[in-house]
Amino acid sequence: MNCPNCGQKTVSFREWSKALNAFNWCCRACRCNLEANWLVKWTAWTALIVGLILGLRPLFKGIAEDRKVEALEMATGIAQGLAAVVVLGCIAWFFGGYKVILSDEHELEEKQDR
Ligand SMILES: [Zn+2]
């Protein structure tokens, strides 16, 4: 993923996939503070919601039908939830990006220049 400020590759997939780095990152090349763009944020929320729904669906279904949930059924639901999170994570990596966070100091300098 490239830095929107200097245009250089700023983060590897391995570093990015550690969840918090996807949302806030400091570019090594230009020391610019970056935050996830709207696509990464919306994909993360969607992954969280879809992952929880798919992962917990067998549990809620078992409670609604007043029966014991089989371990295989629960494992299948969790696997489906994780698969959805991985697919949405890949979409965020390939189509998402960062945007520059302007510090207060930088914004003040810009206002003084006007
Ligand atoms: Zn940069």
> What residues contact residue 1 under an 8 Å CB cut-off, 6+ apart?
9, 10, 11, 16, 93, 96, 97, 98
- Predicted local confidence at residue 86, as pLDDT: 94
Q: Both ends of the chain: CA-CA distance in Å? A: 33
Residue extents of the structural domains in the chain: 36-113
Ligand 1: centre distance to CA 43 (Å)? 23
Per-residue pLDDT of the chain (114 residues; tens, 9 = 90+): 899 999 999 999 999 988 799 999 999 999 999 999 999 999 999 999 999 999 999 999 999 999 999 999 999 999 999 999 999 999 999 999 999 998 665 555 555 665
Q: Can you tell me whether residue 31 is helix, strand or coil?
A: coil
Report the pLDDT value the prediction gives residue 108, as an integer from 0 to 100: 53
**Cα 2 to ligand 1 centre (Å):** 8
pTM confidence score: 0.78
Cα-to-centroid distance, 89 and ligand 1 (Å):
23
User: Ligand 1 mean position to 31 CA, how many Å?
Assistant: 6
| Ligand 1 mean position, distance from CA 28 (Å) | 7
